[in-house]
Structures are given as structure tokens and as C-alpha cells.
Structure 1
Amino acid sequence: MNHVWGLFAHPGPELQQIKREHESIGHLYLHHVLLMAAIPVVCSFIGTTRVGWSFGDGDYLRILPSTALAIALAFYLLMLGAVALMGRVIHMLSRRFPSRPSLNECIVFAGYVATPMFLSGVVALYPVVWLCLFVGILALVYSGYLLYLGMPAFLGVNKDEGVLISGSTLGIGVLVLEFVLALTVIMWGYGAHIF
């Protein structure tokens, strides 16, 4: 958790500090991903059960707490898996380069790059679709910036290779994000009631 502020205040040096720590995947999940992934889950649970989704037309779609709990658990597990999947994607894309970062380094890197996406989940406390979409896009752009900035520094590839890998990774990451969000929206929509 101590790296969260640094990723926003001074991302380049913070990514280098994270790299020097040689963090394990278990440590990453225990001290960062499990906590950060809980932010959008808890906020979505509160927002959808207390306020309800709004599409700007005055109607609010609320979910019963029992249904929301099951959906929140599935959402949480999907996010945990998405971090590991994106780490594997980064590892696969970077294998052809001389530095060949380890799978551990790639998953740790993916976990920290996802930080803005996790934090953007706070807006789900007041789940208005356009607001969530706007903040989500801003978070995606900043995650893309961290990805671009961190590829050369964190994975030891040169800037040209970093642009290639970060662009490919961002494209695949957007697809994974869309898949996770689509499943989540379907699940939240399935349990919704109009109030």
C-alpha cells in the first residue's frame, strides 16, 4: 500500500523502487492486490444496494444485498484473475527480448499498473453510468501511462521495445477489462430491481 501515493506523485522513481524490492507474487497479492481490488467491489456493493444504478433518467436500479454479495464475490475473483492474466500477457510479449523478465516480475508489474483502475472504483459509491465511465477512462489512461513508463524501467527493455510491448499489452488489457466489465454489468443487471 505504501507505493500507491508514489505511483501518482512520482511514478518513474516509484516503479524503480518497486523493482528493487524484488517482491514475490504472494506478497504483491497479500499486501496490494487483495486490498486494492476490494475498493471497487465494496463501493459497488454499497452503491448498488443503497443508491442503485442510474442511467440519468431518474430511475434507480437497486440490487438486493444477498444477490449483490454473490455478484461482488464473482467480481472480486475476476479482478484477481485479471491481474495474473495481464502479468502473463506481459511475460509472453516480453519473452522475445534479451532482458526476458521473469513471470514474477511481470505479474508484480501488472498488479501495480492496475492501481489507478482499482482506485477508480470509488465512484461506484454513487453509480451513475456516465460518471463511472468518465472516471474509468481517466484511470485507464493513467494505467496506460504507467505501463508505458514502466516497461523500460521495470522490465529492462529499451524504450522502442517498451512502446511495442506497452501498446500491445494495453490493447489486450482493454479487451480483458471489457470482458470483466461486461460480465459484471450482466451480473449486476440480472439482480437489479427498479425503485
Structure 2
Amino acid sequence: MLLSHAFGLFTHPDKEWVTIRKEHENPTRLYVAYVLILAAIAPVCAYISTAHFGWAVGSDRLIKLTEISAVQLSLLTYVAMLIGVFALGYAINWMAKTYGAREEHVPANGVALAAYSCTPLFLAGFALLYPNPWFNALVFLGAAVYGARLMYDGLPIVMGIEKEQAELYGVSLLTVALIILVSTRAGSAILWNMGFGPAFVSG
């Protein structure tokens, strides 16, 4: 079962990457059975906390989103996460030959590498149930660092390249990930100006 990889990536990542490489999982099935499920954690938890629990920064009053606004923002977040994983997987495949990846590993394993490397960020979504900005920032920062570490360790195993090449490959992918993040922020600003911004209510 694909979801079993989530546990393995935290307990024995190197062995898990070897297993993932051998699977050559179909990208569509990987998306449906893994990414679509785990990527839903953060939006669902964010909806619950913003619409029902409310957020308080310091000693300020409790702030909540309206039901409609919370649903809209959660759905937009979900779509952005799915697009981000796909874009990262595409970038891995696109740059594979440049860094000496074995061609037979590229089509399926590039997407798999992106999806499984994002596992810590997916699971960090549970932290949103505790509506504290500093706590959430620390959790997601730690998840991002561990996700980057997973990708760095998985590149030579999954894509079949030398570790020296994997270092350059990893730096390039980190740049792509940052571009995706900035694009997401810019897209959010545009959507907010189009009327999809948050609508607040006092708790």
C-alpha cells in the first residue's frame, strides 16, 4: 500500500527509497492513492481551525473565517498543493538527463520523488488544528527541512545518479521549489484581489 511509505520515510528512509525506486509506480495511481489523500490533511485541518476554533495572535480577540470563506481558501490551498507537487515532479523529470539520471527511471520516479519528499509537509497539516501561528510556523519549517533532506537522500537512489551530481541536482530543485512557493503566494494575492480573500468574523 502506498500510504505505508509515509511511515517508512520517517523510520528507514534509505530502504524506503530503494523500495520506491523498484515500484515504478504509475504517476496517476500515485496521485490518486497518495497525494490526493495526504494533501487534503492541511486544508481540512485549516478549515476546522479557521471556521470553528478561531485564531488569536497574542492577546488579541479571537478571529474566525466565515464558513464560505474557509471552504474557499481551503479548496484553493488544496489545488495549489496538488499543482505544486506536479510541478516539482515535472521539474525533476525535465532536469533528469542533465544530471545523468538513468532514463528508465525518469518517467515514474520523478513524480514519486516529489510526492514522497512532500510527505512531511503533508503530515504537518495536522498542526493546523492547534491555532497558534508560532507553533505552526515551527512545525512547517521543520517539515520543510526534513522534506528537503528526504529529497537530497532520495535523488541518488531513485534517479540512479552519483551523489556528487545529486548535490547539484538538489540545489536546482530547491530553487524550483522556492519559485513554486513564490508563484503560489503571488497567485494568492491575485485571487484575493478578485474577491476570494478571507472574510473574518469575531469569535
Give your verdict on TM over 0.5.
yes
Distance 1:119 1:177, change over 3 A: farther
Aligned to 2:128: 124
Q: Distance in 2 between matches of 1:175 and 1:131?
A: 25
Structure 1 residue 26 and structure 2 residue 28: aligned? yes
Match of 2:202 in 1: 194
For residue 82 of structure 1, what is the aligned residue in structure 2? 84
Counterparts in 2 of 1:182 and 1:118: CA distance versus 1, 3 Å: farther
Q: Does the CA contact (< 8 Å) of 1:87 and 1:103 recur in 2?
A: no
Deviation (angstroms), 1:189: 5.9
Deviations 1:150-191 (A, max 9, x none): 000011111011011112212321332344367569859622
Mapped to 1, the partners of 2:127 and 2:186 lie a distance apart of 18
Residue in 2 that maps onto 1:145: 149
Change in 2 beyond 3 A, CA 1:93/1:194: farther
1:179–1:122 Cα change, 3 Å:
farther
The CA distance in 1 between the partners of 2:184 and 2:127, in whole Å, is 17
Q: Could you tell me which residue of structure 1 aligns to residue 165 of structure 2?
A: 161
Identity between Structure 1 and Structure 2 (%)? 31
Separation in 1 of the partners of 2:187 and 2:62? 20
**Aligned counterparts, 1:177-188, within 5 A:** 177-180=181-184
The residue matched to 1:56 in structure 2 has which SS? coil
How far is the alpha carbon of 1:103 from its aligned partner?
3.5
After TM superposition, the score normalised by the length of structure 1 is: 0.91
| SS of residue matched to 1:190 | coil
Count of equivalent residues:
195
1:40 to 17, 20, 42: 42
Deviations, residues 12-70 of structure 1 (Å, cap 9, x unaligned): 10011011111011111111101100100110000101122332233332111122112
Alignment of 1:3-18 (within 5 A): 3-18=5-20
Contact 1:42/1:72, CA 8 A, preserved across alignment: yes
Separation in 2 of the partners of 1:149 and 1:54? 38
- Equivalent residue of 1:54, what SS? coil
CA distance in 2, matches of 1:60, 1:178: 29
AA paired with 2:199?
G
Structure with bigger gyration radius: 2
Match of 1:174 in 2: 178
When normalised by structure 2's length, the TM-score is 0.88
Task: Measure, in 1, the Cα distance between the counterparts of 2:185 and 2:37.
Answer: 19
CA–CA distance in structure 2, aligned partners of residues 124 and 29 of structure 1: 23
